[in-house]
Amino acid sequence: MRLGAGGANLLLGCDLVVSASPDALAKLEPGLSRAIVNTQETITGEFTRHPDLAFPSHTLRLSIEAAAGAEACDFLEATKLATGLMGDSIATNLFMLGYAWQKGLVPLSLDALMRAVELNGVAVETSKRTFAWGRLAAHNLSTVQAAAKPTLRVEKTVARTLPEIVAKRIELLTAYQDKEYAARYSAFVDKIARAEKEKAPGRSGLAEAVAKSLYKLMAYKDEYEVARLYTDGQFLEKLGQQFEGDYKLSFHLAPPLFSDRDPVTGELKKREYGAWIMPAFRLLASLRKLRGTKLDLFGYTAERKMERRLIGDYEATIEQVLASLDQNNHAMAVQIASVPESMRGYGHIKEKNVVAAKAREASLLAAYRAPATEKVAAE
What are the DSSP calls for 226-238, one per residue? HHHHHHSSHHHHH
Domain end marker among 93, 127, 152 = 152
Give start and end residues of each alpha helix (H) in the chain.
16-19, 22-26, 45-49, 57-68, 78-86, 92-102, 110-120, 124-139, 141-152, 162-176, 179-199, 206-218, 223-231, 234-242, 277-286, 302-323, 330-337, 347-369, 372-378
- Kindly give the pairing relationship between strand 250-253 and strand 271-274: antiparallel
Higher-scoring residue by pLDDT: 273, 176: 176
Please tell me whether residues 242 and 359 are part of one structural domain.
Answer: no
Please tell me whether residues 175 and 210 are part of one structural domain.
Answer: yes
Read off the pLDDT band of 6 (50, 70, 90): very low
Instruction: Indicate whether 60 belongs to any domain.
Output: yes
Domain end marker among 152, 183, 200 = 152
- Predicted pLDDT at 260: 79
Look up the domain containing 304 and give its range.
162-221+300-378
- Kindly give the pairing relationship between strand 250-253 and strand 73-76: unpaired
d(CA 49, CA 345): 8
d(CA 61, CA 290): 50
Nearest alpha-carbon partner for 317 in 357, 352, 349, 277: 357
Please tell me whether residues 249 and 352 are part of one structural domain.
Answer: no
Instruction: Indicate whether 226 belongs to any domain.
Output: no
Instruction: Indicate whether 78 belongs to any domain.
Output: yes
Please tell me whether residues 137 and 207 are part of one structural domain.
Answer: no
Burial class (CB in 10 A: 0-12, 13-18, 19+), 144: buried
Please tell me whether residues 143 and 47 are part of one structural domain.
Answer: yes
Residue type at position 324:
S
* Mean pLDDT on 104-125: 90
Please tell me whether residues 59 and 122 are part of one structural domain.
Answer: yes
* Mean pLDDT on 196-201: 95
Cβ–Cβ < 8 Å for 344, 353: yes
**Residue 336 reports pLDDT greater than 80:** yes
Instruction: Indicate whether 1 belongs to any domain.
Output: no
Instruction: Indicate whether 157 belongs to any domain.
Output: no
* Mean pLDDT on 25-45: 81
Cβ neighbours, 10 Å, residue 291: 21
Read off the pLDDT band of 221 (50, 70, 90): very high
Instruction: Indicate whether 4 belongs to any domain.
Output: no
Q: What is the DSSP letter of 203?
A: -
Domain end marker among 121, 152, 183 = 152
Please tell me whether residues 200 and 119 are part of one structural domain.
Answer: no
Please tell me whether residues 316 and 276 are part of one structural domain.
Answer: no
- Predicted pLDDT at 5: 39
Instruction: Indicate whether 366 belongs to any domain.
Output: yes
Cβ–Cβ < 8 Å for 356, 51: no
pTM of the full predicted structure?
0.65
Please tell me whether residues 199 and 304 are part of one structural domain.
Answer: yes
Read off the pLDDT band of 374 (50, 70, 90): low
Please tell me whether residues 196 and 344 are part of one structural domain.
Answer: yes
Please tell me whether residues 76 and 17 are part of one structural domain.
Answer: yes
Read off the pLDDT band of 239 (50, 70, 90): confident
Instruction: Indicate whether 2 belongs to any domain.
Output: no
Higher-scoring residue by pLDDT: 162, 55: 162
* Mean pLDDT on 350-360: 92
* Mean pLDDT on 284-297: 93
Q: State the total domains in the chain.
A: 3
Please tell me whether residues 268 and 335 are part of one structural domain.
Answer: no
